[in-house]
């Protein structure tokens, strides 16, 4: 294990937060081993590492969810004991998790002050709370109606409410865990502005993200964990992207995306005039054997809605789908799967897996026909088949009995892929395949996609990350407000060109 990289401390002489020699073990797992972290006022410290590196455990210790086995925590030079979420909040720590902790049926104001209502004689001072909420939103630099129900707010606005909740508790240390995961590119720019404003106010920010573009934009320093150990902290402007990735994965990745040229064959999937209401309007495209077709566009452009029609999850109003020269009449996902069309949904936890079941049970669900004889599941055959995919896809599991929800995002994605490969899928649709997945696991997913394409599969990849679209696609289909805005051969295409098509500011282009 590499020794931590030492750096000169920022100009402030005393850290706002100092965590020293923090260790934590769970049954059979050493989650953290003597980890040190310091954070200064007005600083953005990027906390990076692969899934399972220990980031979440470290933050949960700071948030009072877990108690450390060893180590100490200091805030403003004073050693404190954080043994509950309440004591963490009282110490000035606010944690904004990727999955928001809001009650949809309550207003923004009610969520901000829930549990700390300003009341007198059993009456809540709603007017005062409303004005305080407005001032908090002004402090963040975003306008949100305090009286709006949270279920009616956009994801970006809900995130602002979470930040306001932390500021209402007088948080001086704010942790943001994958804050941009569900945001549009425009909303991400707004998030940058919020982080800059909090930094100007002297708030220390721990920023967790798998998106290195965000780290380039925001981080003052970068701290990397690997296998529960602190392997390096450096000034952000002193680290290249390759150096960051190498620290995270413990090995060199020559490029962020595999550099591969594959032979592309005949058209396998052809879509003509596909329409459904306003969401999908007269969409036409094709995908060839051995090709990865990237699909780009802003949130709401109709990308997911289009592939749901291909998969039979929704019924089209009009249009045709042809596979290997045969026109299909797909009315359900079962029929799509039978024809060899499979979808790895963007919500793998909610729609791709049954989290409470084992990984082998998830693998077997769409493949019962392969393992059932006379009404009985032949577990030996199922175990053998799944074992081959564990080896082939390098799925990190303790065995087929491991519960799906305990896996990292990358390994969950591999389990979903394994069940479709067992069905011998010919058209594989990846919807946001690497969302919430670390760079090491991303690279493995990219290698798998290339491997499938080499085998003659037709691959459709939806991604909101333009570098990913440009790094993996042979051609790029861009959608705008339910229409195809253009289809480009991926030769010298820039992010700016894709954004012009995605925003409707460039005329349609077809290849």
Reported as a pLDDT band with limits 50, 70 and 90, residue 1 is very low
Residues 224-246 have a mean pLDDT of: 89
One CATH from 2.60.40.10, 3.40.710.10, 1.20.1290.10, 3.40.50.300 for 264-340+427-511: 3.40.50.300
Q: Which of 55-64, 68-77, 428-437, 475-484 has the lowest mean pLDDT?
A: 428-437
Residues 288-309 have a mean pLDDT of: 92
Structure tokens at 199: 């930094």
Say yes or no to pLDDT of 318 above 90. Answer: yes
User: Where is pLDDT greater, at 332 or 413?
Assistant: 332
C-alpha to C-alpha distance for 424 and 407, rounded to whole angstroms: 24
Say yes or no to pLDDT of 369 above 90. Answer: no
Residues 266-289 have a mean pLDDT of: 96
Phi-psi region of 402 (alpha: psi -120 to 50; beta: other; left: phi over 0): beta
| Measured CA angle at 80 (ends 75, 85), to 5 deg | 95
Q: 484: closest CA among 318, 320, 274?
A: 274
The pLDDT, as a whole number, for residue 253 is 59
Tell me, rounded to whole angstroms, the distance of Cα 302 from its chain centroid: 20
Residue with tokens 């990076």: 48
User: In the 3-class helix/strand/coil scheme, how is 332-385 assigned residue by residue?
Assistant: CHHHHHHCCEEEECCCHHHHHCCCCCEHHHHHHHHHHHHHEECCEECHHHHHHH
Query: Per residue in 437-462, pLDDT tens?
Result: 777 778 888 988 999 999 999 999 99
Q: Which of 170-174, 248-252, 319-323 has the lowest mean pLDDT?
A: 248-252
Give the containing element (helix H, strand E) for 232: strand 229-235
The pLDDT, as a whole number, for residue 8 is 39
Tell me, rounded to whole angstroms, the distance of Cα 19 from its chain centroid: 27
Q: What backbone phi and psi angles, to 5 degrees, belong to 145?
A: -75, 115
Treating both helix axes as pointing N-terminal to C-terminal, what angle do 409-422 and 379-393 enclose, rounded to 10 degrees?
Answer: 120
Structure tokens at 436: 């919430």
Strand partners for 341: 427
Reported as a pLDDT band with limits 50, 70 and 90, residue 4 is very low
Say yes or no to pLDDT of 511 above 70. Answer: no
Say yes or no to pLDDT of 73 above 90. Answer: yes
Q: Which of 49-58, 112-121, 436-445, 465-474 has the lowest mean pLDDT?
A: 112-121
Torsion of CA 170, 173, 177, 181, to 10 degrees: 70
Tell me, rounded to whole angstroms, the distance of Cα 279 from its chain centroid: 24
The pLDDT, as a whole number, for residue 425 is 86
Residues 158-176 have a mean pLDDT of: 89
Q: Which of 61-75, 176-190, 228-242 has the lowest mean pLDDT?
A: 176-190
Please say whether the beta carbons of 387 and 395 come within 8 A. no
Q: What backbone phi and psi angles, to 5 degrees, belong to 187?
A: -70, -30
Mean per-residue pLDDT of the chain: 87
Structure tokens at 184: 């549009």
pTM over 0.75: no
Say yes or no to pLDDT of 500 above 60. Answer: yes
What does the buried/exposed string (b/e) look like for 149-180 if buried means 16 or more CB atoms within 10 Å of the residue's CB? Answer: ebeebeebbbbbbbbbbbbbbebbbbbbbbbb
Could you tell me the sign of the dihedral formed by the alpha carbons of 277, 278, 279, 284, in that order? positive
Q: Which CATH superfamily is domain 1-92+172-249 in?
A: P-loop containing nucleotide triphosphate hydrolases (3.40.50.300)
C-alpha to C-alpha distance for 209 and 188, rounded to whole angstroms: 12
Say yes or no to pLDDT of 510 above 90. Answer: no
Say yes or no to pLDDT of 78 above 80. Answer: yes
Structure tokens at 16: 């706002």
The pLDDT, as a whole number, for residue 2 is 41
Domain ranges of the chain: 1-92+172-249, 106-168, 264-340+427-511, 353-424
Query: Per residue in 406-437, pLDDT tens?
Result: 887 778 888 888 888 888 789 999 998 887 67
Q: Which of 37-41, 285-289, 330-334, 440-444 has the lowest mean pLDDT?
A: 440-444
Q: 90: closest CA among 205, 160, 172?
A: 172
455: Cβ contacts below 8 Å, ≥ 6 apart: none
Q: Which of 55-64, 120-129, 226-235, 414-423 has the lowest mean pLDDT?
A: 120-129
Structure tokens at 169: 């508790």
The pLDDT, as a whole number, for residue 435 is 77
Query: Per residue in 319-331, pLDDT tens?
Result: 999 999 999 999 9
Reported as a pLDDT band with limits 50, 70 and 90, residue 188 is confident
DSSP tally for the chain: helices H, then strands E: 17, 24
C-alpha distances out from residue 29 to 26, 32, 34, 248, Å: 5, 9, 14, 19
Say yes or no to pLDDT of 398 above 60. Answer: yes
326: Cβ contacts below 8 Å, ≥ 6 apart: none
Say yes or no to pLDDT of 464 above 90. Answer: no
The pLDDT, as a whole number, for residue 91 is 94
Structure tokens at 501: 């098509």
Structure tokens at 13: 């002489």
Answer whether 1-92+172-249 and 264-340+427-511 agree in fold.
yes
Query: Per residue in 20-35, pLDDT tens?
Result: 999 999 877 788 999 9
CA within 13 Å, CB half, 210: 23
Residues 92-98 have a mean pLDDT of: 88
Please say whether the beta carbons of 490 and 294 come within 8 A. yes
Q: What is the share, in percent, of the chain residues with pLDDT greater than 90?
A: 46
Give the containing element (helix H, strand E) for 178: none
C-alpha distances out from residue 456 to 267, 319, 388, Å: 11, 25, 21
The pLDDT, as a whole number, for residue 254 is 61
First to last CA, the chain: 49
């Amino acid at each position: 294990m590499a020794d931590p990289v030492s750096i000169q401390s920022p100009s402030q002489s005393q850290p706002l937060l100092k965590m020293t020699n923090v260790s934590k073990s769970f049954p059979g797992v050493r989650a953290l081993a003597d980890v040190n972290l310091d954070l200064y006022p007005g600083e953005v410290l990027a906390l990076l590492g692969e899934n399972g590196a220990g980031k979440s455990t470290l933050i949960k210790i700071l948030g009072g969810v877990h108690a450390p086995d060893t180590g100490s925590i200091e805030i403003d030079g004073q050693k404190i004991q954080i043994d509950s979420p309440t004591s963490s909040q009282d110490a000035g720590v606010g944690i904004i998790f990727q999955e928001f902790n809001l009650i949809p049926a309550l207003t923004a104001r009610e969520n901000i002050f829930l549990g700390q209502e300003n009341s007198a004689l059993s009456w809540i001072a709603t007017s005062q709370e409303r004005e305080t909420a407005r001032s908090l939103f002004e402090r963040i630099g975003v306008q949100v109606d305090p009286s709006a129900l949270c279920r009616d707010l956009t994801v970006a606005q809900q995130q602002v409410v979470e930040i306001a909740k932390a500021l209402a508790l007088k948080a001086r240390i704010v942790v943001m865990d994958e804050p941009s995961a569900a945001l549009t590119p425009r909303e991400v720019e707004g998030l940058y502005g919020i982080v800059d404003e909090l930094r100007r106010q002297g708030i220390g920010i721990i920023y967790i993200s798998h998106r290195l573009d965000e780290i380039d934009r925001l981080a003052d320093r970068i701290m990397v964990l690997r296998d529960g150990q602190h392997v390096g902290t450096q000034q952000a402007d002193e680290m290249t992207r390759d150096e960051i990735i190498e620290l995270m994965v413990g090995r060199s990745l020559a490029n962020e995306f595999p550099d591969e040229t594959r032979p592309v064959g005949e058209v396998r999937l052809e879509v003509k005039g596909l329409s459904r209401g306003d969401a999908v309007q007269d969409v036409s495209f094709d995908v060839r054997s051995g090709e990865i077709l990237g699909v780009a566009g802003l949130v709401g452009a109709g990308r997911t809605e289009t592939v749901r029609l291909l998969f039979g999850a929704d019924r089209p109003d009009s249009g045709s789908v042809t596979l290997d020269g045969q026109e299909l009449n797909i009315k359900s996902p079962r029929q799509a799967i039978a024809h060899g069309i499979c979808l790895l949904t963007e919500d793998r936890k909610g729609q791709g897996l049954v989290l409470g079941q084992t990984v082998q049970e998830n693998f077997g669900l769409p493949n019962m026909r392969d393992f059932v004889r006379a009404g009985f599941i032949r577990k030996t055959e199922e175990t053998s088949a799944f074992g081959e995919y564990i080896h082939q896809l390098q799925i990190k599991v303790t065995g087929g009995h491991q519960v799906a929800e305990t896996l990292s995002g990358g390994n969950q994605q591999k389990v979903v892929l394994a069940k479709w490969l067992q069905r011998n899928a010919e058209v594989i649709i990846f919807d946001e395949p690497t969302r919430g997945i670390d760079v090491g696991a991303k690279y493995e997913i990219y290698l798998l996609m290339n491997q499938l394409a080499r085998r003659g599969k037709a691959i459709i990849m939806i991604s909101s990350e333009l570098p990913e679209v440009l790094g993996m696609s042979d051609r790029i289909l861009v959608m705008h407000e339910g229409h195809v805005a253009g289809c480009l051969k991926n030769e010298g295409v820039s992010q700016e060109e894709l954004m012009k098509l995605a925003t409707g500011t460039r005329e349609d282009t077809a290849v």
